[in-house]
Amino acid sequence: MKILLLEDDFKLSSEIKVFLQEKHFDCDAVYDGNLFLRQFANAAYDLFILDINVPGVNGLEVCSLIRQSDKATPIIMLTAFGQIEDKVEAFNNGADDYLVKPFHFDELYIRINSLMRRNQNPQQSDEIITIEDLQINISDLKVTRGGTEIYLTPKEYQLLLLLAKSKGKPVSKQSISDIVWDLNFETGTNTIEVYINFLRKKIDKNFDVKLIHTRPGFGYYLKSEE
């Protein structure tokens, strides 16, 4: 498995690279966004790790540029900033996960494995789930509403599919974190709310009939409710 790392702190970059190599990953490291984009264009990778504040093109812009041509390869953002606004910006640019510095390398390893399991073992089925005018084609990972394709990040797609397969029954935050992220998030985390808001903007914003709902104390569900 090949990982491309963007990190301008030479010491941290070296430590991450050595750690990943010890875990039997093939890791290339670059120190500014322009070099990263050149490397991205010339070689294939299975996962990207991006620091945000780097010389040249910053990590958020790099993430957005990756997503213009590559919707599937997992992206983990690294940053010293942990405010909700920073997380929202990272996710809006296409990131799948977000780690705040300083972090334990073992946590990075867990996040990488979680993303790769999801990416390498997609659910294979010819099933098409239809709710109102929303269609989820599981065989080709395609989502449309009103005949228009909706582009989702891997995590957004997994969350939407989980809600759709629950057939209108509420899914708790704990179940979402266990199934979609493979991690036991603290109950106070706002990551799930952030992703629900992303889905609402993409799935419901331009439609009169809203499909994504909250049942306080129970969780979230997907259902047509006039």
Domains with residue ranges and CATH for the chain: 2-120 (3.40.50.2300), 128-225 (1.10.10.10)
pLDDT > 90? residue 201? yes
- 133-185 residue pLDDT tens: 999 988 778 899 988 999 988 888 889 999 998 888 999 988 888 788 765 55
Q: Residue 57 — very low, low, confident or very high, per pLDDT cuts 50/70/90?
A: very high
Amino acid at 160: L
For residues 54 and 43, give the distance between their C-alpha atoms in angstroms, rounded to a whole number: 21
How sure is the predictor about 120, in pLDDT bands with cuts at 50, 70 and 90? low
pLDDT at 26 over 80: yes
User: 89 — phi, psi (to 5°)?
Assistant: -65, -40
Kindly tell me the burial class for residue 147, based on how many C-beta atoms sit within 10 Å of its own C-beta (0-12, 13-18, 19 or more). Answer: exposed
Q: How many Å apart are CA 188 and CA 110, to the nearest integer?
A: 20
| Nearest Cα residue to 71 out of 164, 159, 141, 161 | 141
Residues 168/221, Cβ–Cβ less than 8 Å: yes
Nearest to 108 by CA among 77, 153, 131, 132: 77
User: How confident is the model over 38-61, as a mean pLDDT?
Assistant: 92
- As a whole number, mean pLDDT of residues 216-222 equals 91
Chain centroid offset of residue 71 CA: 10
Pick from 44, 41, 52: nearest CA to 26? 44
pLDDT band at 124 (very low <50, low <70, confident <90, very high): very low
The candidate with the shortest Cα–Cα distance to 4, out of 61, 56, 57, 42, is: 42
- Are the CB atoms for 59 and 50 separated by under 8 Å? yes
Q: pLDDT grade, residue 121 (50/70/90)?
A: low
13 and 29 Cβ atoms separated by less than 8 Å: yes
Judge whether 121 and 110 are in contact, CB under 8 Å: no
